[in-house]
Copies of this chain bind each other. A is one copy, B any other.
Amino acid sequence: MQIIGEKINGTRKQVAQAIVERDAHYIQHLARRQAEAGSTWLDVNAGTHPDREPDDLVWLVSTIQAVVDTPLSLDSANPQALAAAIKIVNQTPLINSISGEPQRLNGVLPLVVEYGCPVIALAMGDRGIPESSAARVEVIQRVLEATRAAGIPDERVYVDALAMTLSTNTQSAVIFCDTIREVRAAYPKVHCNAGLSNISYGLPARSYVNRAFLTLALAAGLDCAILDPLDRELRATLLAAELVLGRDSYCLNYVRAYRAGVFTPNP
């Protein structure tokens, strides 16, 4: 399971302020803590000001790279910002993201090809996010036709079936899981990613919903998630789910994590 640490995101108020004020200390603190918690990638999102985004993203990347070695996930739909940041990264980054929207696909795909990056592909077309899993699979098929045509092997594509909040559609997690089951069957080499906490937006006690969704999505084939790696309950849930799914030989990962104090004993 790959974890993309979600905390360095300019749409969060404190991060936005740190970006404006060039508060390297705050950003580096978030980077260090997420790296120590075992993140595979650190997401880097500079927020939504198109004119400032390239400079802000470049500052974030160099600020983070000064203190951690964890590869970065460059989170932007703006080809200019991505192009500026990609030139200064120390390690090949994950590009977050392309989609079935022609503008986004045509704008970002050339960078993915040029720099040999892995890339997140959203199940979103030019008419928005399809309602059904069948229609989401169709969008993914079209994106994968484009990535294959560009010479990108499937194992570099992280399909994101788009977890939408249950508060407006209670079938949302079912649609997500159905989509990745179908994608996994048709394209066994792609990765499947989720922006985990979106599933519970607007609901109370979100953490329980996020944990149940993580467990069920893992069963359906999820192997990557954007989440808060500092959430100990979520890490315990992940370890327990992998154990229950029969993916932890001799319970070694679970017992080792327990002994290392990753999660607390029975409450």
Contact with B along A117-145 (1 / 0, CB 8 A): 00000000000000000000000000000
Evaluate contact between B209 and A244: CB separation under 8 angstroms: yes
Give CA–CA (A260, B95) in the complex, Å: 43
Chain A contact residue count (CB 8 A cutoff)? 44
The answer to the question of A240 belonging to the interface, with a C-beta cut-off of 8 Å to chain B, is yes
Distance in angstroms from A147 CB to nearest chain B CB is 30
Evaluate contact between B173 and A246: CB separation under 8 angstroms: yes
Evaluate contact between A212 and B241: CB separation under 8 angstroms: yes
Q: Which of A21-29, A83-91, A100-108, A197-205 participates in binding chain B?
A: A197-205
Task: Given A212-B241, A215-B216, A240-B209, answer yes or no on A255-B204 (Cβ-Cβ < 8 Å).
Answer: yes
Secondary structure dominating the interface of A: helix
The answer to the question of A146 belonging to the interface, with a C-beta cut-off of 8 Å to chain B, is no
Evaluate contact between A246 and B171: CB separation under 8 angstroms: yes
Task: Please tell me which one of the listed residues B166, B211, B244 contacts residue A213 in the complex, with CB atoms under 8 A apart.
Answer: B244
Give CA–CA (A265, B200) in the complex, Å: 13
Which residues from chain B contact A264 at a C-beta distance below 8 Å? 205
